[in-house]
Amino acid sequence: MGDLPLSTIIEATLRTLALGASVALIAGLFGISMAWLVTRTQLSGRKHLASLLSIPYALPPFLLGMAWVVLGNPTVGLLKDVLPQSGSYGFWGMTFVLASVCFAFPYLELKAGFEKMDPALEEAGKMSGASPFYVFRTISFPLLFPALLNGMCLSFLYAIAAFGVPALLGLPVRKFVLTTLIYSQFRVGGMEGLSEGLKLSVILLVIAIILLILSGWLTRIQNKRGGALAGAKSSRPSLVSLGKWKHLATFFAWGFFTVTVILPWIALALSALAPIAGKFSPSLWTLKNLAYVLTLDDFKEGLFNSLILAFSVATTVVTGGFLLAFSSVRRKKRWATWVIETLGLPFSTPGTVIAIILIFASAWLTRMGLPFDSPLLLMAIAYGLKFSAVAARSICTAYRQVHPALEEAARVSGAKTWTLLKTIWFPLLKKNLFAAWLLALLPMFTELTMSILLTGPGGATLGTVLFQLQEYADQPSAAALAWMLLTIALFIGLMTRKKSEETT
């Protein structure tokens, strides 16, 4: 293996762009229809659905990808008779699975938009004589368009940076995207593979940066319009009675949730309980796959490492975020604001690129006589870079929501900074800090994209163990592990959903 042919690079780049675009389009389409249905219509069970639909956001797409391998395998898949001949493999399989997760970006943006919008804006349209559809077309849609585009940008960014799903559904049929091509070059090994990987990373990074600039521009437009959107709310929005469409819409909306979340869970469960791949009959169900995975040394190592990494990095990140956000929001310290903003860069950088940069840095330091190549240390740095921005931002928002007078009253009583943090801010923000901690911890726990490149002897994580089980065609064991992880993720998703309902 020498230089990668240019045609392969171009093909992978084009496929990456096409994947991003089609995921963004499908996610946008579903995002806006779901957001409208749950906020503006008399859909059956709309409030439950509204919060359930935010769950995919927290599901590791790799697990869903594995479920779709079980469902869509062309020879033994559960749905092989329903799906087209290639099953869930190939470009459209990747698009579908990624869109089923990414739809949450436009959905959450638009749901917030609909909820924030002054209902009088739509009522004024009705009073002018416009039908509900015309009101949507000329008022609601144009007002929410920047939010929609922004959500689609995020979906695009997420799709081009994804590794697990293209590896599962693309590699077996040799459909490379940039992230999987980088991985395969890296596997070649040596400086040669690494430098090819770096070249490809630059392409990926450039695409990401262009999107970020676009998204930043859209956010500015949104804020300009947002001023009017967040006006005094005079009334609750009236809900469109869907008339004869109500049953169809309810079926569509709940069906969407079933296909994107419940069906994959069932598929993994069936596959985990089956004695061999493809034998799903209940009479043959067995727990031996689950038991087998739990006794694997690799699994024990992966679980231990993932727990240690996720807990220690999330705790560090939240502690740092608590202090940084205090300096930035409450003390208006420029440097703190700058640090928080800068953390947004690695957050938006594809994980593959971060990992490749870290590998280069570590190789360089080692050559300089500073052995800096422990996989766990590199992963801790990578996780910290990638996932601290979300935590820091949510903590900043929490600080802003508390009236400054609560702190000022304590200062007037004589409390100094540390006392303030300890006696006022920490107790007040406890719940938000826990939420931020979970927000950082969950993606770390099942992280794959960066871990797979940084892993090494003694550095297995749950993500890499799962990936290797799947790659070595031990599908029942892989499904057993994936099923357990997906169940935990769903459980935490449901719990945090309850929490957020209570606080609002």
Interface residues with another protein (CB under 8 A) are 118, 120-121, 123-132, 134, 138-139, 142-143, 224-225, 227-229, 231-235, 238
- Residue nearer to another protein on the CB measure, 219 or 348: 219
Alpha helices in 53-103 (DSSP H): 61-72, 91-102
Residue 260 is classified by DSSP as I
Half-sphere exposure of 455 (CA within 13 A, CB side): 24
Burial (0-12, 13-18, 19+ Cβ within 10 Å), 59: buried
Position 138: which residue type? T
Q: How far apart are CB 401 and another protein at their closest, in Å?
A: 23
- Residue nearer to another protein on the CB measure, 131 or 397: 131
**Residue 405 neighbours by CB distance under 10 Å:** 9
Q: The tokens of 287 are what?
A: 């727990």
- Residue nearer to another protein on the CB measure, 124 or 365: 124
Q: The tokens of 31 are what?
A: 């995002």
Q: How far apart are CB 107 and another protein at their closest, in Å?
A: 22
Query: Do the beta carbons of residue 97 and residue 169 sit within 8 Å?
Result: yes
- Residue nearer to another protein on the CB measure, 142 or 458: 142
Burial (0-12, 13-18, 19+ Cβ within 10 Å), 504: exposed
Q: How far apart are CB 225 and another protein at their closest, in Å?
A: 5
From residue 68, how far is each of 78, 260, 415 by CA, in Å? 9, 10, 56
Query: Do the beta carbons of residue 23 and residue 91 sit within 8 Å?
Result: no
- Residue nearer to another protein on the CB measure, 189 or 231: 231
Burial (0-12, 13-18, 19+ Cβ within 10 Å), 248: exposed
Q: The tokens of 434 are what?
A: 């826990």
Q: How far apart are CB 128 and another protein at their closest, in Å?
A: 4
Q: The tokens of 253 are what?
A: 């909306």
The answer to whether the Cα torsion of 493, 454, 94, 88 is positive or negative is negative
- Residue nearer to another protein on the CB measure, 140 or 305: 140
Position 197: which residue type? G
- Residue nearer to another protein on the CB measure, 21 or 112: 112
- Residue nearer to another protein on the CB measure, 120 or 171: 120
Q: How far apart are CB 369 and another protein at their closest, in Å?
A: 59
Q: How far apart are CB 141 and another protein at their closest, in Å?
A: 10
Q: How far apart are CB 452 and another protein at their closest, in Å?
A: 45
Q: The tokens of 362 are what?
A: 């570590």
